Amino acid sequence: MKKWLSVVLIFTLLLSGCSSQKSEGIREEEFTTPGGETGWIYLPEGIKTDTDQKKPLVLMTCAVGEEPAEKVKEAGWFKQAEEAGFMVLVPKYKTTETFSQTGRIMDVVNYAIQHYPVDTTRIYATGFSNGGGAVSALANDYPEVFAAVSCMSWMIPLKNPDMDYEMPFQVIQGSEDLTLEMDSGSMRVMDDVVWGIESMMRYNHLLEKGEAKDFDKTEYWGYEPDKVETGTIDGRVWTFSNYYKDGYTAPFAQFVLVEGAKHELNEYKAFAAWEFLRHYTRGEDGALVEVEETVTE
């Protein structure tokens, strides 16, 4: 029987060890676009720029005031890039804003597409804190570009939740990371994340007609998942709430709660994000396609 790798197996792989330090197998190239925007791209040594062999690209956006070329080294993406053979792109932009910056960020993305062997069917976006808000804005403004997105520790609502695209999305945050206790005693995520999740759920037609949020029934996220899996790493419980969509076997939406974690990056979040993102590609016509990467029992 074929099935997708379970979260339990994912954590077994995680516990085999990973390092957030910059690998000797990753090289950094800085560039400036004709429009004056700055970007850094990180390539595993096996990826050559003078080749027709296209590779996936992960765009990473940063928190307010962070130096992007420094924060990417802490985020765990180098090991994932080296093992899976994809490139990581980090733009410099005004990190206190979101929707106003999407054009600047896309200038950097387009430069990378023109000058590096980017597989344009497998471009993904992930961001931490305000960078998660930037990812939401990019999914709104350029849904045809990204095959899937992952927002870490923040997201914002879409402005156009009725556009004719599908967008697999993941949210990762800690139980002590921008959460609050309701009068009932139940916990939930902060307002922007609440409305961001609702807009993405409606955008992807993952809610039944009239379905409302219920944080007493489903803490933090408000919507009852189709499946929940848990694992433990570094003494903390990670809970994966998975939501499925007809026509796809991998989770189409996934909310990841790290028990006791605060507003912080760590390398394991990159592992969890890539495990979600990698299942999707986007065709040249904008249609979403699931990658058939399965294991056999």
Q: Classify residue 296: in a domain, yes or no.
A: no
Identify the band that residue 23 occupies on the pLDDT scale cut at 50, 70 and 90: low
Calculate the average pLDDT of the chain. Answer: 90
User: What pLDDT is attached to residue 15?
Assistant: 55
Q: Classify residue 202: in a domain, yes or no.
A: yes
> For 2-6, 47-51, 100-104, 250-254, which range has the lowest pLDDT when averaged over its residues?
2-6
Q: Classify residue 293: in a domain, yes or no.
A: no
Q: Does residue 209 have a pLDDT over 50?
A: yes
Look at the chain and report how many structural domains it folds into.
1
By CB atoms closer than 10 A (0-12, 13-18, 19+), residue 1 is: exposed
User: What pLDDT is attached to residue 9?
Assistant: 61
Q: What is the mean pLDDT of residues 114-141?
A: 96
The reported pTM is 0.93
273 or 65, greater pLDDT: 273
Q: What is the pLDDT of residues 36-45, one digit of tens each?
A: 999 999 999 8
Cβ atoms of 274 and 18 closer than 8 Å: no
Q: What is the mean pLDDT of residues 161-174?
A: 90
- What residues contact residue 35 under an 8 Å CB cut-off, 6+ apart? 107
CA 92 remoteness from chain centre: 18
Q: Classify residue 78: in a domain, yes or no.
A: yes
Which 8-state DSSP code applies to residue 75? T
Nearest alpha-carbon partner for 248 in 290, 212, 216: 290
* Cα–Cα distance measured from residue 75 to residue 97, given in angstroms and rounded to the nearest whole number: 21
User: What pLDDT is attached to residue 146?
Assistant: 97
Q: Rounded to 5 degrees, what are φ and ψ at 175?
A: -70, -20
Residue type, 141: D
Structure tokens at 265: 């990056």
Q: Classify residue 148: in a domain, yes or no.
A: yes
* Tokens 């592992």, located at residue: 271
Domain that holds residue 163: 2-15+26-284
Q: What is the CATH number of the domain that holds 61?
A: 3.40.50.1820
DSSP helix/strand/coil, 191: helix
Q: What is the mean pLDDT of residues 132-154?
A: 97
Q: Classify residue 289: in a domain, yes or no.
A: no
